[in-house]
């Protein structure tokens, strides 16, 4: 029973460092963030919550498109696969400091002939082998720290990809609605040009209109028809881009889009913290970069631990049973003991690995600091963009309204013979430009909100997307 007792003792020893861990203990990097936003906050920052921001845009079609795009996104599928890989690595690292047990069974039949007669022998053998590397200096523990940090980073990057897919789909949808709005304006304009050309042609045939005016009206109608064809092609191309993003059937997609043809979503407001430091908790890419720094810090300790002795405890028990022509024999062999090993001459290999780990840490730290600066800049730029859109609203709407009044008056004067066709066409071009500017402003206003949603993290919950309690992928069972 003594060997069994010793092996049991080996398996129950705690898998922990017996000495202080080598390498630096991770400390979050200090960040010099501004004390407040320089760009004005919309509505003074008194806004609603940021969760699934696209559902707050008041457009069911857009919500369907984003949900479908997320479900079909190859980028998200790859990000989820990287989470599974990182979790497997973390599990492997987590059990590296535990004892291992292997077993084997063997049986064989042999015959020995020394002249005569033949002797037959049956051998049966069972072995149980155990091994445990005692983590003297914390190298294994550092590997575990690094694996856990990489797992958390991969989870954050899934959310980053999710926000990016949602923003990309929203912007493609906004571009489509802008083209639909322009198409509707151009259809009305082309119809008006065609009617004017018909009337002028009738007057020309009656000798009541100069040939130059007839030619001008015909050219104007041709311009309108050409612009209409170009815009229809642009709209169809944008629909096909949405088909590629979502994987939806084009016929079904066109049917869904007709429900709100040319209508832009209405953005909902959300909370924006006063301090840029609070942004770090809302940006999955910043969180992922910070975890990269933590993993690189742990890797330094793992590399340094290779310089120190390694202690292994190992043992085995091997019962043996022999049967030689009816004569039975049994024996049990066992062994247990420590093995201490350490590098003596390695040609600088370990030192080079330590230098590489320290360089990786420096690179990760620099990337993290830059990511934070980029995050603050993106929010500032989105705020400026949104403020500019808000400031332009009154002027853009007034210009479109007044140019339409002027065109209507010029059209009436031209029909009554008090204005030339040249004046009418000049007024028409001005009105079309104003309507195009208004449609572009409406697209920019919503796009500015989308940019701000994305810049502040898109409502990232900071959870594992593959765990049961996390935010499920659109289309998954909830």
Cα–Cα distances (Å) from 73 to 69, 104, 238, 398, 406, in that order, read: 6, 47, 18, 42, 49
Residue among 380, 395, 462 at smallest CA distance from 156 = 462
Of 116, 101, 105, nearest in space to 12 by CA: 101
DSSP state of 35: S
Calpha distance 418→406 (Å, rounded) = 14
List residues bridging with 44 in a β-sheet.
Answer: none
Q: What pLDDT shows up at residue 40?
A: 74
Phi, psi dihedrals of residue 200, rounded to the nearest 5°: -65, -35
What residues have CB less than 8 Å from 199, skipping those under 6 apart? 217
* Interacting residues of 328 by C-beta distance below 8 A, sequence separation 6+: 321, 322
Predicted confidence (pLDDT) per residue in 1-35, tens digit: 455 554 455 445 444 445 678 888 998 888 777 77
Q: For every one of its 478 residues, what pLDDT tens digit does the chain have, with 9 covering 90 and above?
A: 455 554 455 445 444 445 678 888 998 888 777 777 777 767 555 445 555 667 777 788 888 888 889 888 888 888 889 889 998 988 888 888 888 889 999 988 888 776 667 777 888 889 999 988 888 888 889 999 999 999 999 998 998 888 888 889 989 999 998 898 888 888 888 888 888 888 888 888 888 778 888 898 889 889 989 989 998 999 999 999 999 988 889 998 888 888 776 678 777 666 666 667 676 777 889 989 999 999 999 999 999 999 999 888 888 898 888 877 777 888 888 888 888 888 988 889 999 999 999 999 999 999 999 999 898 888 889 889 988 988 888 999 999 999 999 989 998 988 888 887 778 888 888 888 898 899 899 889 888 888 888 888 876 665 555 554 444 433 343 3
Residue 124 backbone dihedrals phi, psi, to 5 degrees: -125, 130
- The pLDDT value given to residue 357: 94
Burial of 437 (0-12, 13-18, 19+ CB in 10 A): middle
Q: How far is CA 193 from CA 222, 225, 266, 333, in A?
A: 8, 9, 33, 104
| Token pair listed for 388 | 């500019």
CA atoms within 13 A on the CB side of 68: 18
What pLDDT, on the 0 to 100 scale, is given for residue 475?
37
H helices present in 42-73, as ranges: 60-72
Q: Which phi and psi (to 5°) does residue 119 adopt?
A: -105, 130
Task: Quote the CA–CA distance of 115 and 300 in Å, as a whole number.
Answer: 68
Please give the structure tokens belonging to residue 108: 């064989």
Q: pTM to 2 decimals?
A: 0.79
Sign of CA dihedral 248, 254, 260, 266: positive
Q: Strand, helix or coil at 245?
A: helix
- In this prediction, residue 14 carries a pLDDT of 47
**8-state DSSP, 466:** T
Cα–Cα distance for residue pair 298/303, rounded to 1 Å: 9
What is the SS3 assignment for 95? Answer: coil
For every residue of 286-311, DSSP letters joined together read HHHHHHHHHHHHHHHHHHHHTTS-EE
Q: Give the Cα separation of 329 and 35 in Å (integer).
A: 84
Residue 373 to residue 378: CA distance in whole angstroms: 9
Using a 10 angstrom Cβ sphere, with 0-12 exposed, 13-18 middle and 19 or more buried, the burial of residue 208 is: exposed
pLDDT of residue 116: 66
- Eight-class DSSP state of 333: E
Tokens of 417: 């013979």
């Amino acid at each position: 029973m003594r060997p069994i007792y010793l092996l049991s003792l080996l398996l129950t020893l705690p898998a922990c460092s017996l000495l202080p861990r080598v390498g630096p203990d991770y400390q979050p990097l200090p960040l010099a963030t501004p004390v407040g936003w320089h760009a004005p906050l919309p509505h003074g920052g008194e806004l609603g919550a940021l969760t699934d921001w696209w559902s707050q845009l008041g457009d069911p079609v857009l919500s369907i498109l984003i949900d479908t795009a997320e479900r079909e996104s190859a980028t998200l599928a790859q990000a989820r696969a990287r989470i599974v890989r990182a979790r497997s690595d973390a599990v492997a690292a987590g059990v590296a400091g535990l004892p291992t047990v292997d077993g084997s069974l063997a049986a064989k039949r042999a015959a020995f002939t020394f002249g005569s007669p033949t002797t037959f022998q049956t051998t049966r053998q069972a072995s149980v082998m155990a091994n445990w590397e005692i983590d003297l200096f914390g190298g294994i523990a550092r590997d575990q720290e690094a694996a856990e940090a990489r797992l958390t980073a991969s989870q954050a990057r899934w959310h980053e990809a999710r926000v990016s897919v949602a923003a990309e789909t929203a912007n493609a949808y906004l571009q489509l609605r802008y083209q639909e709005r322009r198409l509707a304006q151009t259809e009305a304009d082309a119809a008006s040009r065609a009617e004017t050309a018909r009337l002028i042609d009738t007057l020309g045939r009656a000798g009541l209109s100069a040939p130059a005016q007839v030619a001008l009206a015909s050219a104007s109608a041709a311009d309108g028809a050409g612009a209409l064809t170009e815009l229809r092609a642009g709209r169809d191309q944008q629909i096909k881009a949405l088909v590629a993003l979502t994987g939806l059937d084009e016929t079904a997609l066109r049917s869904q889009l007709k429900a709100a043809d040319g209508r832009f979503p209405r953005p909902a407001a959300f909370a924006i913290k006063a301090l840029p430091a609070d942004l770090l908790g809302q940006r999955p890419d910043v969180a992922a970069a910070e975890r990269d720094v933590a993993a690189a810090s742990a890797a330094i300790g793992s590399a340094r631990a290779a310089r120190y002795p390694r202690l292994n405890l190992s043992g085995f028990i091997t019962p043996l049973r022999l049967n030689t022509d009816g004569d039975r024999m049994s024996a049990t062999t066992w062994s247990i003991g420590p093995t201490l090993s350490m590098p003596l001459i390695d040609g600088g290999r370990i030192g080079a690995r330590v230098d590489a780990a320290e360089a990786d840490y420096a690179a990760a730290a620099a990337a993290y600091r830059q990511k934070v600066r980029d995050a603050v800049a993106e929010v500032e730029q989105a705020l400026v963009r949104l403020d500019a859109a808000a400031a332009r609203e009154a002027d853009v709407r007034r210009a479109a309204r007044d140019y339409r009044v002027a065109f209507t008056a010029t059209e009436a004067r031209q029909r009554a013979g008090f204005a030339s066709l040249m004046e009418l066409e000049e007024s028409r071009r001005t009105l079309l430009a104003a309507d195009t500017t208004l449609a572009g402003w409406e697209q920019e206003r919503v796009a500015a909100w989308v940019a701000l949603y994305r810049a502040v993290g898109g409502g990232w919950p900071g959870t594992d997307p593959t765990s049961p309690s996390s935010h499920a992928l659109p289309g998954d069972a909830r």
